[in-house]
Amino acid sequence: MTDIIRYSFDEIENISRNFDGVLDADIIEKLSIIKRISTFQEHTINIKYTLKSDSWRQGNGDEYVEELTQEVFESKIISNLNKLTGANYESIKNNILKAINDIGTLEIDKNRIVDIIFDKATEEHLYSDIYSKLLGTLVENLDNADDVMIFIFEKCKKFYEDNLNFNINELDQVTNYSEMCDVNKNKTLILGGIIFVSNLFNYKLISYSWVNKYYNSLVNITKDIEKDKIGIYIDTLCAIMNTCGQNLKEYEPESFNENFYDILVSFSQNKQLIKPKYRFKIKDTIEKF
């Protein structure tokens, strides 16, 4: 009879948090394809990984030097971000800084860190604050901080151009389940992206003027949109205020009411344009100020 090894939940969790291996570049590429196209293709794959030089190889007297490529570097960043919590923030931050320092003179694009963090924060907006905090810390420690700040601005600009210059269709306009999933995904990503941009302002990674630009664009769409399609825009306006409203108020107290607060107050009183449930949501938000 074959012996069966059983692991407790705590043991599995410990392995997942402390395992430190790197997938081969060809495996990373195959998994990247799956992520990009969001479909699975049947492959026969032998999973391989590279252990660090402080592992069992040292016990055999073998000196092993890990080959660092763009794919391996990104895999390390993603692996650490997948483990990131408030409790282990310092250790994960140090792991990522070490991965950056290990680059040396290799031709590896550090800006990909911004892409990766932006995507994760957009998809997981409940952790948006800690992702923004991490990005702010990385900027402080990077040699090319000015270039990274420019890249962050370009990311925010592209997000604005891609998502705030058109109206999202609501569920009652879709014709099948696939389209309904796409609409839900778009709404979630837009909300997550705007929450992340708001948090970037909290950590001084994006300017006041850009938050104001996002906000005004949403306000203009909200004024022109049909009543049944207004929900996502009210959600995002409230998200901006809930995320960075206090810092916006401290940054320019004289213009805060005119630029942000008074607009929400007027929406909360507009019974013809906005349904009761959204007016109540606005009132919950403005009560904080």
**Tell me, what's the pLDDT at 5?**
76
Residue 179 has pLDDT above 90, yes or no: no
Q: What is the pLDDT of residues 181-239, one digit of tens each?
A: 444 456 677 888 899 999 999 999 999 999 999 999 899 888 888 888 888 889 999 99
pLDDT at residue 15 tops 50: yes
DSSP 31-83: HHHHHHHT----------EEE-TTSHHHHTT----PPP-HHHHHHHHHHHHHH
Q: Over the stretch 23-51, which tens digit does the pLDDT of each residue have? A: 666 666 666 656 555 544 444 444 444 44
pLDDT tens-digit map of 97-144: 999 888 877 888 888 999 999 999 988 888 899 999 999 998 888 777
* Distance, CA of 21 to chain centre: 24
pLDDT tens readout for residues 55-92: 444 445 455 455 778 898 999 999 999 999 889 999 99
Threshold 0.95, pTM exceeds: no
The dihedral formed by the CA atoms of 136, 140, 143 and 145, expressed in degrees to the nearest 10: 50
User: Which pLDDT does position 120 carry in this prediction?
Assistant: 92
8 versus 287: the higher-pLDDT residue is 287
Average pLDDT over residues 239-248: 95
Give the SS3 label for residue 250. helix
pLDDT in the model for residue 132: 95
* Amino acid 246: pLDDT: 96
Q: Are 285 and 238 in contact (CB under 8 A)?
A: yes
Q: For the chain, what percent of residues have pLDDT higher than 70?
A: 73
Q: Pick the residue with more confidence: 5 or 150?
A: 150
pLDDT of residue 174: 46
Residue 11 in this model has a pLDDT that exceeds 50: yes
Residue 25 is predicted with a pLDDT of 63
Which domains, ranges and CATH numbers included, belong to the chain?
A: 109-286 (1.25.40.180)
The Cα 171–Cα 123 span in angstroms is: 20
- Closest Cα partner for 125 from 182, 200, 75? 200
Per DSSP, helices labelled H in the chain are 9-18, 25-37, 56-59, 70-83, 89-101, 112-123, 128-141, 145-163, 177-202, 208-224, 231-251, 253-256, 262-268, 276-286
AA letter at 207 = S
pLDDT, greater one: 85 or 4? 85
